[in-house]
């Protein structure tokens, strides 16, 4: 993507918009997990709660465990509404849901049907050629949404095949990123953090836990607004850098499997599997279109999501792409000639 400008508007995934000041704090509440009654953020704990992260409380609340910069712990409500049952509006008139009009199979199964992609002439009412032009580097954004040798349909097809090979769907891959943004926005809502670490960087949590991964991040909010090439009303106003530490055993595994690539290429492989830069637009693109962006600095690769958030172990990912993991991560989804 690469922002030319962005707006400081905070949107909770439950639909509430926070801008021009924070709302009054809600009364502290408790949830039950495995029969235990536990406080929800902004209440803090002195010790880790000792439950899975993420987890679902008895009342359906989706929770992740986070650790503050001061060494305390929190159970944070990061619930993502079920967009198949409730119409959830974001970004003006946009709706968090699959684009069923253009991609009925995506809406029904969470994956594309290749014949639907092959026959697509427009997305969201905008011709494919216009989307490709707007998504090129230097048009709507500095870095673009597509590499110069890609087009939107080749990228949708390529990433759908990656998701299928991993045994995952686009909604499953979007959910950790939606959880992350809800975590960030709960930080904002609580007013317990502080602006720190550079322009418009909000800091309260040191890291959060996700499927056994310890993930650190830093969110930045800036002025202006990043427009969407799909003409769907999604406007970007933030970006986040996230990273998890690769376990020594994982590093050794990659080094043994891909020794032929050489140290620099192996280092790039490790970096790709342990961190990414994302805006808040990307998870909505994944849900709506199965779009992770092309091979640009803002790409949220399906394999990287699976690795960072523990949706698949490194061994499972390698089995899905035996001996070809570097190709799967770095090769562009080149448009047909």
Domain annotation covers residue 250: yes
Chain centroid, CA 237 distance in Å: 15
Q: What DSSP designation does 245 have? A: P
- Token pair belonging to 134: 């707007």
Contacts of 45 (CB under 8 A, 6+ apart): 38, 39, 72, 73, 74, 75
Residue range(s) defining the domain that contains residue 207: 10-27+167-330
Q: How many CA atoms lie within 13 A of 273 on its CB side?
A: 25
Separation in Å, CA 274 to CA 153, 170, 211, 270, 309: 27, 20, 14, 6, 9
Does 89 map to a domain? no
Does 102 fall in a domain? Answer: no
Closest residue by Cα to residue 319 from 166, 215, 178, 192: 166
Tokens 């009342």 sit at which residue? 59
Structure-token pair, residue 94: 């946009």
90, part of any domain: no
The reply to whether 217 falls in a domain is yes
Give the C-alpha separation, 148 to 87, whole Å.
35
Q: What is the pTM of this model?
A: 0.89
In a domain? residue 220:
yes
- Structurally, the chain folds into a number of domains equal to 1
The two three-digit tokens of residue 212, written as one number? 């056994």
Report if residue 244 sits inside a domain: yes
Q: Is the dihedral of CA 104, 106, 110, 113 positive or negative?
A: positive
pLDDT in single tens digits along all 337 residues of the chain: 543 333 333 334 444 333 333 334 455 689 999 999 999 999 999 999 999 999 999 999 999 999 998 899 999 999 988 766 666 665 455 567 899 999 999 999 999 999 999 999 999 999 999 999 999 998 888 888 999 999 999 999 999 999 999 999 999 999 999 999 889 888 877 765 555 554 445 567 899 999 999 999 988 876 657 889 998 878 777 888 999 999 999 999 999 999 999 999 999 999 999 999 988 889 999 999 999 999 999 999 999 999 999 999 999 999 999 999 999 999 999 988 7
Q: Does residue 144 sit within a domain? A: no
Residue with tokens 């992770």: 292
* Torsional class of 257: left (φ above 0), alpha (ψ -120 to 50), beta (otherwise): alpha
């Amino acid at each position: 993507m690469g922002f030319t400008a962005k707006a400081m508007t905070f949107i909770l995934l439950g639909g509430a918009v926070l801008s021009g000041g924070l709302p009054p704090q809600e009364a502290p509440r408790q949830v039950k997990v495995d029969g235990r009654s536990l406080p929800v953020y902004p209440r803090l704990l002195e010790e880790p709660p000792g439950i899975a992260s993420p987890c679902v409380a008895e009342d359906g609340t989706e929770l992740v465990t986070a650790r503050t910069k001061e060494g305390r712990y929190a159970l944070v409500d990061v619930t993502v509404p079920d967009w198949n049952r409730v119409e959830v509006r974001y970004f003006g008139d946009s709706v968090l849901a699959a684009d069923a009009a253009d991609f009925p199979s995506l809406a029904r199964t969470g994956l594309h049907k290749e014949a639907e992609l092959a026959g697509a002439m427009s997305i969201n009412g905008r011709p494919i050629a216009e989307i490709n032009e707007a998504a090129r580097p230097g048009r709507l954004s500095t870095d673009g949404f597509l590499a110069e040798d890609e087009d939107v349909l080749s990228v949708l097809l390529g990433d759908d095949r990656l998701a299928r090979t991993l045994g995952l769907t686009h909604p499953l891959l979007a959910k950790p990123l939606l959880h992350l943004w809800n975590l960030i926005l709960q930080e904002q809502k609580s007013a317990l953090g502080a602006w720190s670490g550079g322009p418009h960087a909000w800091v309260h949590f040191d890291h959060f836990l996700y499927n056994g991964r310890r993930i650190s991040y830093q969110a930045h909010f800036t002025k202006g607004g990043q427009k969407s090439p799909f003409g769907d009303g999604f406007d970007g106003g933030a970006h986040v850098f996230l990273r998890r530490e690769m376990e020594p055993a994982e590093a050794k595994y990659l080094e043994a499997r891909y020794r032929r690539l050489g140290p620099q290429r192996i280092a790039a492989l490790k970096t790709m599997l342990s961190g990414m830069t994302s805006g808040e637009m990307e998870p909505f693109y994944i849900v709506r279109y199965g779009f992770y962006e092309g091979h640009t600095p803002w790409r949220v690769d399906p394999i990287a999501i699976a690795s960072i958030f523990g949706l698949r172990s490194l061994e499972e990912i390698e089995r899905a792409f035996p001996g070809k993991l570097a190709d799967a991560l770095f090769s562009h989804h080149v448009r047909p000639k």
